[in-house]
Structure 1
Amino acid sequence: MVVTGIGVLCPLGLDTSVTWEGLIAGRSGIDYITLFDPEPLDTTFAGEVKGFEPTDYISRKDARRMDRFAQLAVAASQQAMEQAGLKINSSNQDSIGVVVGSGIGGLTTLFEQIKVLLDKGPDRVNPLLVPMMITDMAAAQVSITLGLKGPNLCITSACSSGSDAIGAAYELIKRGDTQAMI
């Protein structure tokens, strides 16, 4: 078995080549927090994915229905497929699956909707709150967006989630449950 495509959106860059260059150069992806106001926190720096535009990968409508963590998963998956030269069609979509590793789901959506609940009441909470925040929506959104119908799961095991997801994908292919995994 081989890895034929990689997708990366991280604090060092929005693709594999920029990220690799940053790693080789010893650059840090840590900077001041810009995605929210860190004022009430003791820490004002973090590793953020800066410059990411979800509409480079998905429609504006779909972007509004996904938390950022799922948008990033879809974008990375599209990059990996492009790098691998993998084309999805009716003859292979049932035999290609998705496994995503995520330590936690859509916190941005959860925090935003808690504020809505407290400020405006329960009737104003987004009805898509649960599907936007649950961790396995990253894998689900990748499958939906790419048209994949093979095995679909999300591994949540803290900091080792990504590595565990690779292992799970390997096992699914090895057992013959699927031919390829994203």
Structure 2
Amino acid sequence: MTRVFITGMGAITPIGNNVETFWRNLVAGQSGAGRIQQFDTKDMPYNIACEVKDFDPTDYMDRKLARRVARCTQFGIAAAKQAIADADLTIDERNRDDIGVLIATGGGGISEIEFATEEMVERGWKTVGPFVVPAAMSNAVSCLVSIETQARGPVMT
């Protein structure tokens, strides 16, 4: 069995968009709950959730990629890049085949399907972009983290 060491951490959460802020707010007992801002809740019985706030994906990826991927994938890429920086890890030809990506997700970019369906109903199928299905796939997060970080080891979801 190969031993694995976690040497870096990253965090994109409702109470902080980096490990330091997340931990400080967690220890202080700060709640990430608040009124939902990401979408209209007027017809819903509830309007409270724990949303990530003040997150700019272009701090971690170019604008073109940020537009093409689901928000959860943006979070995954950002947290992975934070963890790599925290570990002071350089991924290059010497080690990239030994570095893998394993990310667990309950639904991946499932919201992309919802948005595309709504768009198709309101404006027709031709308005749905070609990146909807790749963005919605549950393995999109781990695959794009691997691509963005150049980690070529095992990739699992």
Preserved CA contact (<8 Å) 2:96 2:152:
yes
Is 1:140 paired with 2:143?
Answer: yes
Moved more, 126-135 or 105-114: 105-114
TM-score where L is the length of structure 2: 0.94
> C-alpha displacement at 1:148, in angstroms?
1.2
SS in 2 for 1:51: coil
1:8-46 CA deviation, whole Å, 9 max, x = no partner? 010110011111111111111111111111111111110
Per-residue CA distance 1:94-148 (angstroms, 9 max, x = gap): 1111011111111332121011110122222111111001110000010011111
Tell me the residue number matched to 1:178.
none
Q: Aligned partner of 1:45: which letter? A: I
Q: 1:64 aligns with which of 64, 67, 82?
A: 67
For normalisation by structure 1, the TM-score amounts to 0.82
Aligned to 1:151: 154
1:17 correspondence with 2:20: yes
Q: Distance in 2 between matches of 1:83 and 1:126?
A: 36
Q: Does 1:77 align with 2:83?
A: no
Aligned match of 1:130: 133
Query: Are the counterparts in 1 of residues 58 and 66 from structure 2 also a CA contact under 8 Å?
Result: yes
Percent same amino acid among aligned pairs?
A: 36
**1:31 aligns to what SS in structure 2?**
strand
Aligned amino acid, residue 64 of structure 1: R
Structure 1 residue ranges without an equivalent (≥5): 155-182
How many equivalent residue pairs?
154
In structure 1, give the amino acid aligned to 2:33.
Answer: I
What root-mean-square deviation, in Å, do the aligned CA atoms of Structure 1 and Structure 2 show? 1.0
Does the alignment pair 1:27 with 2:27? no
Distance 1:2 1:130 in 2: 34
Report the CA distance between 1:58 and its aligned residue.
0.1
> Displaced runs of 4+ in structure 1, greater than 3 A?
none
Contact 2:100–2:152 (CA<8 Å) still a contact in 1? yes
Deviation at 1:2, TM superposition (A): 2.9
Confirm or deny that 1:113 pairs with 2:116.
Answer: yes
2:110/2:137 contact within 8 Å kept: no
Shift of 1:75: 0.2
